[in-house]
Amino acid sequence: MAQQQPVAMDTTSSGTIDEGLYSRQLYVLGHEAMRKMNSSNVLISGLSGLGVEIAKNVILGGVKSVCVQDTHEVSFMDLASQYYLSEKDIKRNRAEASVSHLAELNPYVPVHASTAPLTKEFVSQFQVVVLTQSSLEEQIQIGNITHAQGIALIVADSRGLFGQVFCDFGDNFTVNDANGEEPISILIASITKEKEGVVTVLDEQRHGFEDGDFVSFVEVEGMKELNKTAARPIKVLGPYAFSIGDTTSYGDYTPGGRVTQVKMPKSLTFKTLEASLDAPAFCDMDMAKFDRPPLLHLGYRALHAFKGQHGQFPRPGNAGDIAGYLALVKSLNDASPNKIDELDDKVLSALASQSTATLAPVCAVIGGIVAQEVMKACSGKFMPIMQYLYFDSLESLPVDPIPAEQLQPVGSRYDSQIAVFGTAFQQRLGDQKWFVVGAGPSAASC
């Protein structure tokens, strides 16, 4: 197939927002954040089930433009999770086969397709770059380009019941509103006059502040100087008290007044993907699996190493591939500065066996998370992931191990599901008849 030349992104912006179309989103983000999104060009590389889920969400979110890029052809494995593809698209480029369907989602967002490889010149046109199904080498290469130019990078991956997200928003990324909630405002019970003045609130109402929050004061009596000072940082001393610094030069407090949280911009520094490989920062998604992120971080690195050595990922249920993969994990772990004392071979074996599979529900979870990170990168609203997030849903598997012979592909569009749950499960699923009431987003995900 001849390579399609990358489409240059429009650098102008109308600045208009359809308040009817985006009414619910405006309620959450606000006009300023929506205007920033409306001026952002987004690149999504890889149009598998995960890539199309991200693209769908981002397009509906109302960015300025989206370019979907892919150099791969449609295969049967794609059909299990990529809902815009069908058997007639086999051998077509995935981006070209999907772009017309994606363009219909939102008339305000131009959608383009590219089949050319990623280059520095091409990537530099965008404000946000999302990589799915990229090799580790390509992730590092593109990550160094985007970091140097202040372009937000998100790496996303979905393998069977596992998922990975990585964010790098540059050396100096500003979050204007970390949580999107209305500022806390509460009545004051007392303020002490000392080097570290202590503010106490009424017993029946916790203040809800965190260390480092900024507050301002109004209607304070006696210690009126507080009403005129700029917002100041606090140190939480308990659910009903916090300190505000030196108050010795102020008047004596008399009952009354209110303290209000002041939202202050926060500057964040992200490491490149290359620097993060050996010094990862994790965002816990499931506190019941607090030890899982380091293990999956190592497991994903081993998957890339296995692909580099063998030209493919481990095959479903293949004992030889899984044994070779586990040996790679052990080798990488022994050489790691963050060596894990005890490796969980059961979890790692599942990751290896499921590495070629893509499941629609997992794509929906990871795709929704990544689309939110795209919005954060564009708008500066809400705290982004710092920097790795790992997901798994191994509890979805039956208690008894699935025989390896049931995990083998049968040349069906459901081979991804078979690689995770087996042919017997797929047969039972195929015998089900469901009636879904409603045609909203929840029904569309069923």
CATH number (domain holding residue 213) = 2.40.30.180
Nearest by Cα to 72 from 150, 134, 157: 134
Tokens standing for residue 269: 């520094």
Residues 132 and 87 placed together within one structural domain of the fold: yes
Do 241 and 290 have their domain in common? no
Phi, psi of 68 (to 5 degrees): -100, 125
Each residue's pLDDT expressed in tens, for the chain with a length of 446 residues: 444 545 545 444 445 676 666 666 765 666 677 787 888 999 999 999 999 999 999 999 889 999 999 999 998 889 989 999 999 999 999 999 999 999 999 999 999 999 999 999 999 999 999 999 999 999 999 999 999 999 999 999 999 999 999 999 999 999 988 887 889 999 999 999 999 999 999 877 889 898 889 999 999 999 999 998 899 999 999 999 999 999 999 999 998 899 999 988 989 999 999 999 999 999 877 777 888 999 999 999 999 999 999 999 999 999 999 999 999 999 999 999 989 999 999 999 999 999 999 999 999 999 999 999 999 999 888 899 999 999 999 999 999 999 999 999 998 889 999 999 999 999 999 999 988 888 766 655 55
In Å, what is the CA distance from 404 to each residue of 151, 266, 350, 413? 44, 50, 12, 19
Evaluate whether 258 touches 186 at the Cβ level (below 8 Å): yes
Both 196 and 109 in one domain: the answer is no
DSSP letter string, 118-164:
P-HHHHTT-SEEEEES--HHHHHHHHHHHHHHT-EEEEEEEEBTEEE
Q: Look up the pTM and report it.
A: 0.86
Residue 201 token pair = 């609130």
Q: What's the CA gap between 162 and 384, in Å, rounded?
A: 21
Contacts of 152 (CB under 8 A, 6+ apart): 127, 128, 129, 146, 167, 168, 169, 170, 173, 374, 377, 378
* Same domain for 132 and 38: yes
Single residue among 370, 392, 414 that ends a domain in this structure: 392
Report if residue 336 sits inside a domain. no
Tell me whether residue 33 is in a domain.
yes
Task: Tell whether 413 is covered by a domain.
Answer: no
Do both 85 and 135 map to the same domain? Answer: yes
List 130's β-bridge partners, or say none.
Answer: 44, 154
User: The domain that contains 104 carries what CATH number?
Assistant: 3.40.50.720
70 and 209 belong to one structural domain: no
Distance CA 33, CA 19 (A): 13
**In a domain? residue 282:** yes
Q: Are 40 and 51 in contact (CB under 8 A)?
A: no
The DSSP secondary-structure symbol of 70 reads: -
Report the distance separating Cα 441 and Cα 382, nearest Å: 23
Instruction: Quote the domain boundaries for residue 237.
Output: 185-262
Number of independent structural domains in the chain:
2
